[in-house]
Copies of this chain bind each other. A is one copy, B any other.
Amino acid sequence: MNSFGHIFRITSFGESHGAGLGVVVDGCPAGLKLDLEAIQHELDRRKPGQNPLTTQRKESDTFELLSGMAGAVTTGAPLAFLVRNEDQKSADYDHIEHVFRPSHADYGWFAKYGLRDHRGGGRSSARETLARVIGGAVAKQLLQTACGLQIEAWVHAIHTLELPNWPASLLLETQAQQWTRCPDANLAQQMADAIENARQAGDSLGGVIGCRIQHVPPGLGAPVFDKVHALLGHAVLSINAVKGIEFGSGFEGSRLKGSEHNDEFYMEGERVRTRTNHSGGMQGGISNGEDILFKTAFKPTSTIMQDQRSVDTAGNEAIAKGKGRHDPCVVPRAVPIVEAMAALVMADLWLRSKADRI
């Protein structure tokens, strides 16, 4: 299924080398004042060609709104957005028409469907995340308007270069000015250098993205299967190249004792707070009003500018050549995608929560 969400639901379509990519955003309440420039801004954050570190594929990635608004507000009808592909060089992919690229979706999709659209990975291309960023941008505005909830992600690690702690407070402006989207200026420079070195070596790097969701109303999340972090996990793990996710204390927390890990409650005025936040903003899968915190791991980009041994669709050994225009490290561009997926989950849970009580 190419849809995600129960009430606030997006349906994504399109391929990297077809007419374009698009998304239908269903379930957005009527009467939301929608800032279309803010949506374009989110797209610009994930756009290729922003700086020397990203793929030199040139796409303006401007969207057309096809439906769902009257004047400046949403009408309750589904919003639909279309982004045309522009800089397609399908011939760039001729060399892999019959060869499965190592660690790409090529072989799995071929095994699934008995055929594949080899041009740019077709539907499995990360270009599909355009649709998610647009849907997430609508979700962000809904959440901001409805309950003040805010979502910020950042580059937490590139290769072995890693922030030592959760950043206490993000300097969004500064971050945005840095290609790497790492809030520590020194580390950011080292990361940029590492990415450039990888590019020159025809190699690629992975990393970690951190995310903080602030001003979360307590009580979001659905019982049992649709816990906040289970849905966030579903959403974020579905992003291309993601291999893991952890919430709050995460894997490290499994090495603590209960007496060290438990988050004691106290009152801050009228508000129930916790002294620590190992839980990462949710307990029993329901938000408790503290910041939701998670980190997610990206493997190094599968496309490298090196020859690799592989097999072809006929079952013969073959060489997968490294060609084309690709990011040596997708992590910085993935920051708005992580935010978007988180926003989609939170918007859905916010709307669902309206039916919690009689």
Residues of chain B within 8 A (CB-CB) of A1 are: 6, 9, 26-27, 222-223, 225-226
B254 contacts A207, CB within 8 Å?
yes
A15-B102 contact given A112-B76, A225-B238, A257-B205, CB 8 Å threshold: no
The reply to whether the CB of A317 lies closer than 8 angstroms to some CB of chain B is yes
A302 contacts B237, CB within 8 Å?
no
Of B78, B111, B247, which contacts A13 at CB under 8 A?
Answer: B78
Q: Count of A residues near B, CB < 8 Å?
A: 154
The reply to whether the CB of A262 lies closer than 8 angstroms to some CB of chain B is yes
Of B258, B266, B283, which contacts A304 at CB under 8 A?
Answer: B258
Residues of chain B within 8 A (CB-CB) of A286 are: 105, 108-109, 111-112
Residues of chain B within 8 A (CB-CB) of A22 are: 66-67, 80
Q: Write the A77-101 contact mask toward B (1 if CB under 8 angstroms, else 0).
A: 1111010000000000000000010
Copies of this chain present in the complex amount to 4
Q: Write the A244-275 contact mask toward B (1 if CB under 8 angstroms, else 0).
A: 11111111011111111111111100101010
The reply to whether the CB of A145 lies closer than 8 angstroms to some CB of chain B is yes
Which 9 A-B pairs rank lowest in CB-CB distance, beginning with the nearest?
Answer: A105-B284, A108-B286, A244-B246, A204-B258, A112-B219, A30-B113, A234-B234, A111-B218, A111-B219
